[in-house]
Amino acid sequence: MDELDREILDVLRRDARIPYTEIADSVGTSEGTVRNRVDRMLETGVIERFTVATRTGNIKAMIELGVDVAVDTTGVARRLAEWDPVDFVWQVSGEADVVLIVDAADTTGVNDLITRARDMDEIVSTTTRLILDEQR
């Protein structure tokens, strides 16, 4: 994690689909070096994943889930991450145990998710907040 890594990340944050060759030009190194470093950052977990920020124009929400004390929270979280409209799944400290960020086609989509979550017997509580606006 040095200055060059940070510069590469800065470029990728702006546009994660930009080719290595262009990143190399803009940070002043070769394609191979950019590739090596991105690979390394992926392996070490500095880069968690490449993703896409969407605004389907419809609905985004944050769903907080309480998980039964007797249950493997990581397993639940992993299963939730499989669901398609889910952007992020975080295990958190505090009141709730798991937080989902979802971007669904419509309210029905969000409702489906909540219903499916409630149907898992490991899940003991849900709270939903709509994401009204996103800055950045």
Residue 100: CB atoms within 10 Å? 24
Chain centroid, CA 110 distance in Å? 17
Residues binding DNA: number (CB under 7 A):
13
Residues that bind a second copy (CB under 8 A): 1, 6, 9-10, 12-17, 45-57, 60, 62, 74, 77-78, 80-81, 84-85, 87-95, 99, 105, 127, 129-136
- How many other β-carbons are positioned within 10 Å of the β-carbon of residue 10? 12
Q: How far is the CB of 24 from DNA (least distance, A)?
A: 7
Q: Do 129 and 60 touch, CB atoms closer than 8 A?
A: no
Contact partner, 36, from DNA, a second copy, none, Cβ < 5-8 Å per class:
DNA
Q: Give the largest CA-CA distance in the chain.
A: 54
Footprint of DNA (CB under 7 A): 4, 19-22, 29-33, 35-37
